[in-house]
Amino acid sequence: QRVIVTYQSFIRTYGRTSGHKDRIIESQLRIAKAHEKLNSEREALAAYRAAVDEFKRSRDEKSAPYAAEAQFQLVERQFAAA
């Protein structure tokens, strides 16, 4: 839980700074993983979506691996539900 709060604080502080877009998207991914460990699937999905959405807005190349992993997690869940 503390990890989530720490990353959320980072996002609030640096979220509008273009130089930190890769770290913002990485933070969203780490928040999602933390929620998974807490068995909070809905919150995990929201954080994965936030990572992908932020990447779509920023198109920051350094962020691509984090966004790709988040997108993979979303797609994997769609297949698992089918």
pTM: 0.92
- The pLDDT assigned to 78 comes to 87
- Are 63 and 21 a contacting pair, CB within 8 Å? yes
The 10s digit of each residue's pLDDT in 10-20 is: 999 998 888 89
Assign 74 a pLDDT band (cuts: 50, 70, 90): very high
Average pLDDT over residues 34-50: 97
Average pLDDT over residues 48-61: 94
**Other residues' Cβ atoms within 10 Å of the Cβ of residue 68:** 14
